[in-house]
Chains A and B, each alone.
Chain A
Amino acid sequence: MPRDGAVIAAARTTGGHDGNAALVLDVRYPNGAIGEITLDGGTGLLLMAFCGADDAAALVGQSWRVLQSAVLGRDEFVHGTGE
């Protein structure tokens, strides 16, 4: 775990209030506490792109700071590359 803060401990998809798939993250803090945050579809997709993740499970272990970057830049969705 990075010394400077919390990390993503788990990631799963769910149904969002707006009818789009959403992303639920468990964030583990340095003191062991776990918080839960739900990202709407747009923000979740940007987070996946920002982290270069093709699978929500690949977010596990990332610093909480990637969330900040995704939220701040959610109107600049970056396309990934396909097979």
Chain B
Amino acid sequence: MFDVVIKNGRIVDGSGLPGWNGSVAIADGRIAAVSGAIAGPARQVIDARGAVIAPGFIDPHTHFDAQLLWDGQARPALEHGVTTIVPGNCSLSLAPLKVADRRQLVGMFRQIEELPDAAFEEGFTWSWESFDGYLDAIRARLGINVAPLVGHSVLRLWVMGAASQQRAANSEEIRQMQNLLRACLDAGAVGLSTSFVDVDEHLQPVPSRWAHVEELEALAAVLGEHGRMLQVVPEFYNTDITIARVDQLADYSLNYGIPTTFSPLFDSVATPNNVTRVLRRVEEQFARGARVWPQVQTRPIDISFCFGLPSLFFGRLPRWFRVMRLRTDEKLQALRDPDTVAKLLDDAGPDGGAAVFGRLRIRSVPGGDLALVGRLLVDVAGERGITPARCLIELSLEHDLEAHFVAADMGHDVAARVGPMLAHPFVHIGASDGGAHIASFATYGDTGYLFSKFVREAHSLSLEAAVKKITSDTASIWGLNMRGLLRRGYAADVVVFDPNTIARADEVAVHDVPGGGMRYIRGARGVQSVLVNGELAFSAASGYTDARSGEIAPLN
């Protein structure tokens, strides 16, 4: 008797080989058979006719560390078919952490993930200091698999306290960090994350940025004892420095036998040679035998703004820019002044701002007026019989400068350029940042976007190649044991989806963060069933189940 049989689907097994018609049987949380015809009864049968049966997707760059303490399914990642996540990126994890240092770390999380303080006060009870203590705290409610990184900043904070953001470590402190990292790796950490970029809530460099090269190399040596991953946020704002970091990571990879990965790396018409140059160096380092995996995101970059705060969105519209930099009372006065408004409208161009503002959508307004939210500014302007530029001003005044607008596809948005990047053999599809930037934009649905944009629309990858990129490739890169393929004996992480409709849904604001906090999310389209270790965790028909079958992912 099988526990589950998923029958009559198209098997896309994560290997990259062409799909074929068949069924998958599951028993005891593992894949029991993958065959054209499966004989034998099952407690549960899922009909996948017309759909793809694939391994669960693996997201290698997330910040769900805190969310997992109140939401073990990492919603909405799971409903997109993501069955394994890697939290703890960018030098920050929630363990190991001394009680005395909680306040300081929460400030860093607030800055990077935009989680409000209340989430840390009302969302969970702090019950750990050690890394394995944190894993115990999340384990009982896990509905998704977790391969956690330990953050370099947190190691520094534990060993050096406040001095972690003041100076380099001495040899004894480095030795203590090495021992602490060993303990984390022994407890199940998939590797170490560090950052050369991030800042805390006071805009001061996070602890990892104070490390001298000897410290990071000493920690890389410990990773080498276990063959585990080093994840890095390089100075991505400058191509030359990023290339220098590629060389540094390559040396660590070769000297200590470890895989390394870095992100973000994204394309823009404003920086057209960035990805090309970085990838060229990555190719050279792979030719040397190093493993330096650049993570490239699938989704385009959207930018948002409201009149309450200055934005470089207006960096080429001098009169608008001047008004946006005023104090709030002055700004309101200026936007109500006919002479100033006339100059603003003139600045917006003879088309009334259709060219510069035409793509804007109204993202949110206080009270969430459904007649406005989600709509194109140009459409609302048309209804009002005014130009888009005047409509932008009117809406901002009507909502006390708290009407938020989003300009979609402002970078990493040219499919003819991004598609080949995603298909590149050395590019690791990731960098979703799931669980971070929660009040700025939705970091979910990148897998659906991969299929809708780059498989169906741009034909940059085959369906099979796209599945391989986010399943077996990811498992191999990170050393996840028995995951990422539909093979007998592998973990039964399975997603059933319609290849003709899988996509990300529109972005919406929800208020489900503990303490009443808001975040932007996206639901999934075309994902029919998601199984985690053999248990149905989500179905399009019934939503999330009570299954809590996730685990701390075993490593090779």
Contact = CB atoms under 8 A, between A and B. Distances in A.
Interface string B474-502: 00000000000000000000000000000
Main secondary structure, interface of A, reads: mixed
Contact of B330 (A21, A37, A82): A82
Nearest to B331: A82
What is the size category of the interface that chain B forms with chain A? 35 or more
Among B238, B315, B327, B437, the one with the most A-chain Cβ atoms within 10 Å of its Cβ is: B315
A75 interface: yes
A4 interface: no
A64 to B, nearest CB: 13
Interface string B309-350: 011110111110111011100110010000010010000000
Among B264, B302, B312, B317, the one with the most A-chain Cβ atoms within 10 Å of its Cβ is: B312
Interface string B227-260: 0000000001111100000000000000000000
Nearest to B265: A17
Contacts of B202: 75
B322 A19 contact: no
Contacts, number: 126
A36 B274 contact: yes
A19 B303 CA distance: 4
Interface in B269-309: 269-271, 273-274, 300-305
Nearest to A78: B325
Given A24-B270, A49-B325, A15 B411 contact: yes
Contacts of A80: 322, 325-326
A19 B343 contact: no
What is the size category of the interface that chain A forms with chain B? 35 or more
Interface in A29-81: 35-42, 44-45, 48-49, 54-58, 74-75, 77, 79-81
Among B301, B323, B325, B437, the one with the most A-chain Cβ atoms within 10 Å of its Cβ is: B325
B334 A82 contact: yes
Given A36-B239, A48-B315, A15 B321 contact: no
Contact of B315 (A42, A44, A79): A44
A15 B310 contact: no
Contact of B268 (A14, A19, A75, A77): A14
Interface of B: 202-203, 236-240, 264, 266, 268-271, 273-274, 300-305, 310-313, 315-319, 321-323, 325-327, 330-331, 334, 340, 343, 407, 410-412, 437, 440-441
16 contacts: A14-B268, A15-B301, A15-B303, A18-B437, A19-B301, A20-B304, A20-B311, A20-B440, A35-B238, A36-B274, A38-B270, A38-B271, A41-B312, A54-B321, A82-B322, A82-B323
